[in-house]
Chain A
């Protein structure tokens, strides 16, 4: 999955999207089926209901800032989001996404390079980001092999289960 390019429809968000917005505190202990319905609702109320599997989230700087709660990444994954491309990520959010098997790519310029509904192509290994509609191309950070290995296994727990045949 991770060696070919992903193509999807863009949902674009601003800078500093926090874990509180991705996983609102009042639903923190609810099951993922409930939690996923409230993802990003404070900044785009139609996102959770209208997002389709394979869609790609584009955002500004410091995406996923705030707490270490993994539900922030898990909720996006549960909605079928295929990848998040942002100007920069909060470190723990990035770690958690990889751990869960959700691809994340750092790409300067992506926030201004896309609008809602554009089609985006993401090459994880090369870090190449293309606006399919305009043809504009951006250089993101290629995802290191170590991270792609975890992603293609389906996350760190899948790596664990494969490792020692548990």
Chain B
């Protein structure tokens, strides 16, 4: 019987010819990712159960990205502990503060390849599905087990396939697509399941857009958010100095729990409203709501393509008075490219504050939080109560184009109505 992408990945990792949805497997881990919120705790726990070596230091990546630069003495001390553990355990793939967000660095630095099984102590580990890798979030105890043994149990998930066709209008991006799907199907639509994205529209989606979709698959409850590997994947891997990839696709006779065919033609910009990611409306429903802060960044939309899209809207103009625009490049490579290409100058000239590469204010730790009654529109992935500071603040989520247009207007605005200058 044919297998879905999720089944192919788990069969290979479990050393089996074939697995089917519902099976339990013990699978070999190809890559384990830890970031600064949980890394020191996991390494301490390893010590407590008497494990002083990890299964494979070369298959382990550690990133300091959340508390960057350290906002408190406690955070700085946490980072010190992580550095000690990393050198003791012989982990070479260590990205210290300032290099970027874990979910940006792993693909960008060539750690992710199609068909891999990747676990991370972070729910957005689904991001790696953009390259055809089974990335999924786990907790700290599971991570201790995975690091000690190199293995972990998995239930093979059912797969829901999204067949996407049509062309996006000018001013509409793939962020709008995933917000639309979250709104239409709901935050638990893919609970315990894998999402597979395919269809003619997906063949044209660049890697940055695919990363956005896979990143937010978890906002619909998904275990994996997968794309087949194709020429775009191959080019992405080669551009990063890696070997290209052979194609990696689901079998044509794979079994799906559901297949949804969706045309993207005519889709207007979408915005998630407070305080749920699946409370989504089209731009007309929220246009005109005043904002205090606009945020462009995060592992969802902090890539060079996102900064470019914002720069196209902002170039030669200035953000509304009373609005703060924060731009947080997802990695140092993104920052560098934005500098070299003039994108950064356009953003700064338009009034943006540029923060160092990392998570920035996305999870509410530091770096641009909201006061009571304040309203923010951002390109990130969660708008839960209190996510960015005060529990009395409101968070809207949209595309880089929508956030940039809103920063200019001082209220939520439709990027399709902005004049853009391309010089």
Using a CB–CB cutoff of 8 Å, the interface residues on chain A facing chain B are: 16, 18, 20, 25, 29, 61-62, 65-70, 73, 88-92, 94-96, 99-100, 144, 146, 150, 155-157, 159-161, 163, 166
Contact = CB atoms under 8 A, between A and B. Distances in A.
A58 to B, nearest CB: 17
B141 A155 contact: yes
Q: Which 10 A-B pairs have the closest CB atoms?
A: A96-B139, A70-B139, A99-B141, A146-B24, A166-B50, A62-B188, A68-B137, A156-B145, A68-B123, A99-B142
A67 B124 CA distance: 9
A160 B26 CA distance: 14
B270 interface: no
Contacts of A96: 138-139, 141-142
Contacts of B45: 157
Q: Which one of A65, A68, A73 has the highest number of Cβ atoms from chain B below 10 Å of its Cβ?
A: A68
Given A88-B191, A161-B50, A166-B50, 10 more contacts: A16-B187, A25-B364, A62-B187, A62-B191, A68-B38, A68-B121, A90-B188, A90-B221, A92-B137, A156-B145
Given A70-B139, A96-B139, A91 B145 contact: no
Contacts of B264: none
Contacts of A29: 74
A61 B24 contact: no
Contact of B221 (A62, A70, A99, A150): A62
A52 to B, nearest CB: 25
A157 B144 contact: yes
B145 A99 contact: yes
Contacts of B385: 20
Contacts of B155: 144
B51 interface: yes
Given A68-B121, A95-B139, A166-B49, A159 B145 contact: yes
Interface of B: 24, 38, 45, 49-51, 74, 121-123, 137-142, 144-145, 148-149, 153, 155, 187-188, 191-192, 221, 223, 276, 364, 384-386
Contacts of B141: 70, 96, 99-100, 155-157
A68 B121 CA distance: 7
A146 B384 CA distance: 34
B148 A91 contact: no
12 contacts: A16-B276, A20-B384, A29-B74, A66-B384, A70-B140, A70-B141, A91-B192, A91-B221, A99-B139, A156-B144, A160-B49, A166-B49
Contacts of B140: 70
Given A62-B191, A67-B123, A92 B138 contact: yes
Nearest to B125: A68
Nearest to B124: A68
Contacts of A146: 24, 153
Contact of A61 (B38, B123, B188): B188
Contacts of A159: 145
A166 B223 CA distance: 31
B384 A68 contact: no
Nearest to B52: A166
A144 B49 contact: no
Contacts of B192: 91, 94
Contacts of B153: 146, 150
A62 B222 CA distance: 12
A68 B148 contact: no
Nearest to B22: A144
A72 B396 CA distance: 26
Given A92-B137, A146-B153, A65 B187 contact: yes
Contacts of B137: 68, 92
Listed residue (A29, A89, A157) with the most chain B CB atoms within 10 angstroms of its CB: A157
B138 A18 contact: no
A11 B295 CA distance: 40
Nearest to B222: A91
Contacts of A89: 191
Nearest to A89: B191
B372 to A, nearest CB: 16
A101 to B, nearest CB: 9
Contacts of B187: 16, 62, 65
Given A61-B188, A68-B122, A146-B24, A160 B148 contact: yes
A92 B49 contact: no
Contacts of B148: 160
A161 B49 contact: yes
B137 to A, nearest CB: 5
Nearest to B50: A166
